[in-house]
Structure 1
């Protein structure tokens, strides 16, 4: 029987993280040179023997996403990786063909639907901006929505600094109303929320939401009921930009100028698209 071919082959990991980030990884994730080497070897052997995984990346940068996500619990990292592969297979085209140059993806990014601020916060975390109200329900589909999220998240997850330090999410609900609930069935919505926490290898550190329309309260309450207590404690809701600015919880200097920061949103989007 011939050797299977993989999307990427195993490599010898070379750590390029700063000393400070390595210290965070050790303190928060139990990562050091020895635990990293042993865990990578264990996960690669498991993948090669797993009949549910027909093909997969075996390079360190990819596998470390899952190990860091699960604080080096090899078993939990394997479970998350298996769910991740299943997710990519199940949703087909929506979670494949990740190319920001696809015209519809470029258009959604230019609109400011989803992008990351170029400046990290004081804890070194990337801040992801989401503005679902600019999503035109008559022009774009739920597959387009899934794909743009996939493009943005997969891009950010390739950065090892992000894998260790995690993410802050900032969402503006302005313009989102009842019709948006038709984008996904309840079953699909449940799966998306749960996968967002349990499957995508992202360390969600804070989630900030402003301008949530009252008509969406029951939908938000339903979504919140699906996440863990850990994530619930990291959720912050503001009725307006003014309330957010007064709260002093989120570092507004990192945000676009339109939300109290220094750099205009259009400039941030340009840096994210074309850096």
Structure 2
């Protein structure tokens, strides 16, 4: 097996490993019940996934370690067709939004990033939901829209934090819950990107997100931000809309003990206390994060619309020849 895995290494930025299951019996059962995962299905799909990446000329470099690939297999319940599409769109999105470097510059020391981290834009709460999921709190006020690079930094922090959350196999299986605190958000926060860029990002993130989104609780909307948020929710896929709820405040969060929230939301923790473990986790990942910029697609294979992440391209799969999303196919290589 080791010799077979070595074949893929030249295309991977991480060691290509033979998956070793360290899940508890409870998680093994949950994975089977929720995702249809068994050891036989998992091993078969990992092998097929790697072979597809290896033979796909559109993908030049990526992560091919088991835990990373399982994120795409699990979120798509081991449907290879959907996992492959999700994976390739993931790579395109993070290289394809022009003017944005929130995936290709995951440097923890980049200007302004530590300030946003310290202010607690993203917080992983030190408790689980009553049903067992990890809880991520997004304090939208912590992103300063007056900063010249505010949008990129905010999405960079989002990528850094959520990559670490999804790396945990328990989170891949059980899913996670998101809380958005919008109580101090101003209209200027929405103008960190153009609305067309926001729309492209959000529509693609819907398709490439590798976390099982159990719930999204939005708190503190004022009339102006409620209008915009409702417009965004209206344009979400039905699957995403079903998990979104708008709450008046933290007292309506019935899936956790609110004492674990920050003090300004009625909890007992300072932002510094909440951020300390997350910052240690991010620091332990810093070398790999810097290597994310090495993940590359071969841009010549895609149309401009795909590379610009136009939302209309999501209506078809990349392999649908009639949709004309690719400029050439593998069987045409020898002629190009």
TM-score, normalised relative to structure 1: 0.91
Q: Is the 8 A contact 2:130 2:255 kept in 1?
A: no
Distance 1:55 1:248 in 2: 42
Q: How does 1:136-215 map to 2 (within 5 A)?
A: 136-139=144-147, 140-215=149-224
For each residue in 1:220-239, what CA deviation from the matched residue of structure 2 results, as whole angstroms up to 9, or x when unmatched? 11210122222222112122
Q: Is the 8 A contact 1:115 1:128 kept in 2?
A: yes
Unaligned runs of 5+ in 1: none
Does residue 229 of structure 2 align to residue 224 of structure 1? no
Question: Please, what is the CA RMSD of the aligned residues?
Answer: 2.0
3-state SS of 2:185 partner: coil
Displacement after TM superposition at 1:175 (Å) = 1.9
Between structure 1 and structure 2, the one with the greater Rg is 2
Q: Is the 8 A contact 1:258 1:265 kept in 2?
A: no
Unaligned runs of 5+ in 2: 1-6, 282-336
**Aligned residue in 1 for 2:24:** 18
Distance 2:131 2:109 in 1: 31
For each residue in 1:48-98, what CA deviation from the matched residue of structure 2 results, as whole angstroms up to 9, or x when unmatched? 111211111111011000001111111100000000011122146321232
Displacement after TM superposition at 1:197 (Å) = 2.1
Question: 1:269 and 1:248, CA in 2 relative to 1: closer, same or farther beyond 3 A?
Answer: closer
3-state SS of 1:54 partner: strand
Distance 2:142 2:92 in 1: 30
Q: Is the 8 A contact 2:151 2:193 kept in 1?
A: yes
Distance 1:248 1:123 in 2: 13
Q: Is the 8 A contact 1:112 1:269 kept in 2?
A: yes
Moved more, 135-144 or 20-29: 135-144
Q: How does 1:1-275 map to 2 (within 5 A)?
A: 4-91=10-97, 93-102=101-110, 104-139=112-147, 140-239=149-248, 241=249, 244-245=250-251, 247=252, 249-251=254-256, 252-274=258-280
Moved more, 208-217 or 71-80: 208-217
Alignment: residue pair count: 270
3-state SS of 2:112 partner: helix
Distance 2:23 2:233 in 1: 34
Displacement after TM superposition at 1:158 (Å) = 1.2
TM-score, normalised relative to structure 2: 0.75
Question: 1:248 and 1:131, CA in 2 relative to 1: closer, same or farther beyond 3 A?
Answer: closer
Distance 1:138 1:70 in 2: 38
Distance 1:190 1:101 in 2: 29
3-state SS of 2:221 partner: coil
